[in-house]
Structure 1
Amino acid sequence: MIPEYGRNTIADFSSSLLRHYGALPPGEPMDLSEKGIDLEGVDKIVVFLLDAVGYANLLPLMRRRDSLLADPVIVSTMTSVFPSTTTAALTSFYTATPPAAHGMLGYYLFLKEYGCVSNMIELTPIFQERDNLTRMGMDPLKFLPVPTIFELLHDAGVRAYHITSKSFINTGLTRMHTKGGIAKGIHGIGDMIEEVKDLLHSGAKKNLIVVYWGLVDTFGHKYGPESMAYIDEVRWYLEAVRAFFLRLRSSRTAFFVTADHGQISTPWEKEVWLNKHDDIYSLLYTLPTGEHRALYLHTNQPKRLKDLLLKRYDDIAYIMTREEAIDSSLFGGVPYEDFASRIGELIVVPKHDESFCFKYSGQEHSMKGRHGGLTPEEMEIPLIFLRK
């Protein structure tokens, strides 16, 4: 499933929110009316943004009569971006731009300006402590080449808030994503609802509130997206949102529930583990980067390496050059100036539920759920609309 850039991705959804508030969106907004969504007269919008809850992941909950999804709400779908992973998809939501434009292209990236492979969630060279890139000169507030939606809303005179776990509130990535907004830290679902209630009752006539919830992704990686832990966490979260919505009285407030990407079960027996002793590694000039389901390979011998990969993995993976990926619009938009060096020369994307893993330290382990690829389970995400 290829991302529907310029029409129906999470970035286009953000553009539609910007347009609603009178801010200038960087791209073509999603046509919400095609989904039956009417924001006419809405002053305050709350976006509940779950990490790693695809439309397919919600299907078991749709059969429950007490579910949020059983109420007379509008349930539609849109696509994530490629790679379908937190760093890329959240940045697309928070900037209303595709990955090619914002440059956050995966969990691990080769940053030539710092001469290292970095963990882009923790903003640190691999094997180092969180936010070490800031000690090397990175300014999270200046790293992105595009403005955030919070900055654009601020320029339009609209207050915008971001609610997330207190453990994330001062991290480099959160500061990067929320530049121009007002950040609030929470401990759990209870005070999440309380914070949203207080902001809705504040004196501001118009505001946007984005609530990020990342725990579902953690459970999906550890236990799998079909596990009780994963499903119950989603159910409890949606039940809390439903109860809050039922107490809501204002017709000028609307809720959206969505996600950055989905998650797919990844059995350990379908993991391909690579290491520094493989013949593949001998053709690389730096460590593999990207994701387990969207692997970037940096090589000076792309034809030789591609031929080797096709011979070995053609039945389970798409092997493409950087140019082929760009021509296929996998990343969307016009590539950012550092785009090429960050994704390398070759990209490996599993066709089904396979994973391509690299032993960076030897401490890596299997995960029961992953994302990053192009399957419907990873790419198709819900867009749920609630309004009195």
Structure 2
Amino acid sequence: MQRPDSSALRERQSDGDYLLPAYEDWCFSRIPGTVADVLGADVGPRLPEAATDVYDDISRVVVFLVDGFGLAQWDGERERIPFLRRFERAGRVTPLTAVYPSETAAAMNTFHSASLPSEHGVVGWYVYDPDTDEQFEALPFLRKDGSTPERIDFEDVADAESIYPELADAGIETHQVTPFPNDSTVPHTYDPEDLSTFSESFADAAREASDPSYIFAYLPQTDAVAHAEGVDSDEYRETAAETFDRVAEAIETLAETSNDDDGQTLVCLTADHGLIDTVPEENVDLSAPPFELVSDLRTLTDGTPIRYSGSARNVHLHLRPDRIDPVYDLLTAELDARVLRKQDVLESELFGPNPSETFEHRLGDLVVVHRDSSVWYGDEDRGKLDFVAMHGGMHPDEMLIPFATATLDSLGD
């Protein structure tokens, strides 16, 4: 199978103004299996061979994941960031789709487990778990009031096993350069508010890793700035430029610490999702007229309405049984959005095939995916409606991401 260009993948996966995940081949979910396969291990489905068929004798894979830097962002910044053009000349940029939902909590659980959202059950940034009567943020593992959930353990947030023990069993050493440690890998933490600390931590990982090895580096800075300022802002462009300056510096560090007797190093750049700019004044408040949905929601056992499930671009409504049909009719009449019933979601395999019990229990009675606006509860969480750049839905700019690859040697030429 040939690598697709972005227009071909977009055309194939388009469903009107929306874009569906390509779980069967060119999808973010297959990156973990691809990394493992290149290093001689098997942890799950990989991308088609055409994604990496020009690379051999690979003893180290380094993945830089820049949160929210989708294909639209790559194309939008490539003229301003020379490093992106240099990477294109040295290697290749393969378009992929994100998983659905196109948001970090679901995507990163997929990335670390090689399982789909339909399997691991993290349905969005927020999760309502009826089996434990908890609603919480999946990343970080906190309730909305900042307290730690008491009736569910962090290990049970995702119904999936990490890939890293399998990599270790295959003799592959994994190092992670992230703001938070992962106990099943060698951690190198840094302060996400100070990108200079990323460089220091990455240098430690590059020096300490023994091949065959896998170094994963996560950079969330562009996503955070985009929420507040939007993609079309000076603040976003400055942060993107600084981020890729640090990535370029990290690649130089790799070259300085590489051993000529080892095999080649494969460098990959990717993202968990892209971004779209919303118009905050046009975002939809479900707690206000004509919706006023809070009274229609089911509640926790203490009477708290179940607001926090999914996200503002991937709203999961857990409704009182007698209110499902009226709310469906209201939303389809008032919103430029896909409003999906639970059975529709399962039949379409939007979150992936083979749904687990955990996923089915957490899935909303209705899932609301607006074409290009945010939809949330202004009475308790107004900040989400004030965000400019958002993600989580099925807009092509959210769903198309780059998977850029090049050998370390080619980047040095």
- Written as runs of structure 1 = structure 2, the 5 A alignment for 1:221-236 is 221-236=227-242
Offset at 1:372? 0.3
Distance in 1 (CA, whole Å) between partners of 2:156 and 2:136 is: 17
Question: Matched residue pairs, number?
Answer: 369
> SS at 1:359's partner residue?
coil
Superposed displacement of residue 292, structure 1: 0.6
Residues 141-184 of structure 1: per-residue CA shift (max 9 Å, x gap)? 3543221122221222211111112xx34xxxxxxxx3521211
Instruction: Indicate which of 362, 377, 388 corresponds to 1:358.
Output: 377
Structure 1 residues 70 and 102: CA distance shift in structure 2, 3 A? same
User: Which residue matches 1:252?
Assistant: 264
In the alignment, which of 21, 29, 40 is matched to residue 46 of structure 2?
Answer: 29
SS of match in other structure, 2:208: coil
What is the 5 A alignment of 1:282-321?
282-286=295-299, 287-288=306-307, 289-299=309-319, 300-301=321-322, 302-313=324-335, 316-321=336-341
Any conservation in 1 of the 2:61–2:215 contact (CA below 8 Å)? yes
Residue equivalent to 1:59: 75
Judge conservation of contact 1:80–1:379 (CA < 8 Å) in 2: yes
For 1:305, the aligned partner's letter is: V
Q: What is the rounded CA distance, in whole Å, between the counterparts of 1:202 and 1:383 in structure 2?
A: 26
Residues 335, 215 of structure 1: alpha-carbon distance in 2 compared, 3 angstrom cutoff: same
* 1:101-121 CA-partner distances (Å, limit 9, x unpaired): 111111112111321321222
Is contact 2:94–2:404 with CA below 8 Å preserved after alignment?
Answer: yes
Among candidates 136, 152, 159, match of residue 138 of structure 1: 152
Matched, 1:75 2:87: no
- The alignment status of 1:8 with 2:26, answered yes or no, reads yes
Amino acid at match of 2:227: H
- Name which of 109, 113, 132 aligns with 1:91: 109
Alignment-derived partner of residue 174 in structure 1: none
> C-alpha root-mean-square deviation of aligned residues, in Å?
2.2
Structure 2 counterpart of 1:198: 204
Question: AA paired with 2:178?
Answer: T
Describe the shift of the 1:203–1:99 C-alpha distance in structure 2 as closer, same or farther (beyond 3 A).
closer
Cα pair distance change 1:197/1:347, threshold 3 Å: same
Q: What is the deviation of 1:274?
A: 1.6
- For 1:268-287, what aligned pairs fall within 5 Å after superposition? 268-275=280-287, 278-286=291-299, 287=306
Equivalent residue for 2:217? Answer: 211
Asked if the contact 1:78/1:381 (under 8 Å) is kept, the reply is: yes
For structure 1, the 5+ residue unaligned runs are 170-177
Q: Taking structure 1 as reference, are residues 327 and 179 closer, same or farther at Cα in structure 2, changes over 3 Å only?
A: farther
**How far does residue 276 in structure 1 lie from its aligned partner after superposition?**
7.6
> What code does the residue aligned with 1:212 have?
Y
Does residue 186 of structure 2 align to residue 182 of structure 1?
Answer: yes
Aligned partners of 2:188 and 2:202 also within 8 Å: no
Q: What one-letter code is carried by the residue in structure 2 that aligns with 1:355?
A: S
Deviation at 1:193, TM superposition (A): 3.1
**What does the per-residue CA deviation read over 1:42-68, in whole Å, with 9 as the maximum and x for residues that have no partner?**
111111111111110121222247233
| Partner Cα separation in structure 1 for residue 225 and residue 139 of structure 2 | 17
Q: Is the 2:284–2:373 Cα contact (8 Å) retained in structure 1?
A: yes
| Matches of 1:37 and 1:2, distance apart in 2 | 26
C-alpha displacement of 1:5: 0.6
**Sequence identity of aligned pairs in percent?**
25
8 Å contact kept, 1:151–1:179: no
Q: Does 1:110 align with 2:116?
A: no
Matches of 1:189 and 1:69, distance apart in 2: 22
Following superposition, the deviation at residue 38 of structure 1 comes to 3.2
Quick one: structure 1 residues 38 and 141, their matched pair in 2 at CA, closer, same or farther if it must change by over 3 Å? Answer: farther
- In the aligned structure 1, how far is the partner of 2:81 from the partner of 2:137? 41
- Contact 2:122 2:157 (C-alpha < 8 Å) held by counterparts: no
Q: Distance in 2 between matches of 1:161 and 1:339?
A: 30
| 2:73 partner amino acid | N
Q: Residues 65 and 145 (structure 1 numbering): CA distance in 2 closer, same or farther, change over 3 Å?
A: closer
Corresponding residue number in structure 1 for 2:302: none
Does the CA-based 8 Å contact 1:150-1:179 persist in structure 2? Answer: no
Say whether the 8 Å CA contact 1:80–1:380 is kept in structure 2.
yes
Change (3 A) 1:179 1:10: farther
Map Cα deviations across residues 193-232 of structure 1 (whole Å, 9 max, x no partner).
Answer: 3433333333612110111111111101000111111122
Residues 278-287 or 261-270, more deviating: 278-287
Distance 1:137 1:290 in 2: 19
CA drift of 1:74 comes to 1.2
Q: What is the TM-score with the length of structure 1 in the denominator?
A: 0.88
Q: Which amino acid aligns with 2:177?
A: I
Q: TM-score, normalised by structure 2?
A: 0.83
Give the letter aligned to residue 47 of structure 1: V
1:92 is matched by which residue type in structure 2? Answer: T
Task: Tell me if structure 1 keeps the 8 A contact 2:315–2:375.
Answer: yes
Inter-partner Cα distance in structure 1 for 2:128 and 2:337: 22
What's the CA shift for 1:192? Answer: 2.5
- SS in structure 1 at match of 2:375: strand
Q: 2:166 matched to 1:152?
A: yes
